[in-house]
Amino acid sequence: MKTTKEEYLTELHKVLNLQKSGKSVDLDNIPELFRKDLFRYIAGETLQSLNGKVVIGSKRYREWVKKIMFVGLDYVIQLENS
């Protein structure tokens, strides 16, 4: 997967902002760049439906954000020069 540094940082900022509400997070709102890692992280878990949308609970989402911040993603993202 290739992206620019600016795109990566913008998407990471979105991921971080989603946890600020303290509410469940709609999986459709997870940036595509990070979605694969989140799906691997929650594989086999029971998810919730809220207003017709599949969501992940705020606690589990925060745990995943901690994981990507301190351990990293399960795959490499190649950064292009912008």
Domain ranges within the chain, ordered by starting residue: 2-76
Give percent above pLDDT 70 in the chain: 98
Give percent above pLDDT 90 in the chain: 76
Mean pLDDT over 28-39 rounds to: 95
To the nearest 5 percent, what fractions of the chain are helix, strand and coil?
50, 20, 35
Mean pLDDT over 70-80 rounds to: 88
Q: Minimal CA–CA distance to 19: which of 80, 74, 72, 69?
A: 69
pLDDT the model gives residue 41: 96
pLDDT band, residue 80 (cuts 50/70/90): confident
User: In what helix (H) or strand (E) does residue 24 lie, and over which residues does it extend?
Assistant: none
Mean pLDDT over 33-47 rounds to: 94
